[in-house]
Amino acid sequence: MAQKVVQFIIGKIITDEELRLCFLEQPTDTLLALKEKGFELTQTEIDAILQTDRRLWRTGANWVDPRLQRCRMCPDA
């Protein structure tokens, strides 16, 4: 397991609003897209992220200072 990659992806989902919204809508596709972009994730790691309590993804950003977050730049169409 590449712990740094897993930590990076978890942090990215929590702090990047656009990625988080994609992940919440299509979690498997989002992780596979990250893997295709070169993030080395094993199937075990993907499964573990997918099985993580979804409340973390929905509320985790509330626990992080807004200055450390990347907000969505365009409103919903």
Structure tokens at 7: 């930590």
Q: Quick check: helix, strand or coil at residue 73? A: coil
* pLDDT value at residue 16: 93
Give per-residue pLDDT as tens, 27-62.
999 999 999 999 999 999 999 999 999 999 999 888
Q: Quick check: helix, strand or coil at residue 70? A: strand
Q: Compute the distance between CA of residue 45 and CA of residue 77 in angstroms, rounded to an integer.
A: 33
Q: How many C-beta atoms lie closer than 10 Å to residue 72's C-beta?
A: 12
Q: How confident is the model at residue 67 (pLDDT cuts 50, 70, 90)?
A: confident
Which residues make Cβ contacts (< 8 Å) with residue 18, sequence separation at least 6?
A: 70, 72, 73
> Where do we find the tokens 């712990």?
3
Residue 69 · residue 17 · CB < 8 Å: yes
Q: Does this model's pTM top 0.85?
A: no
Q: Quick check: helix, strand or coil at residue 75? A: coil
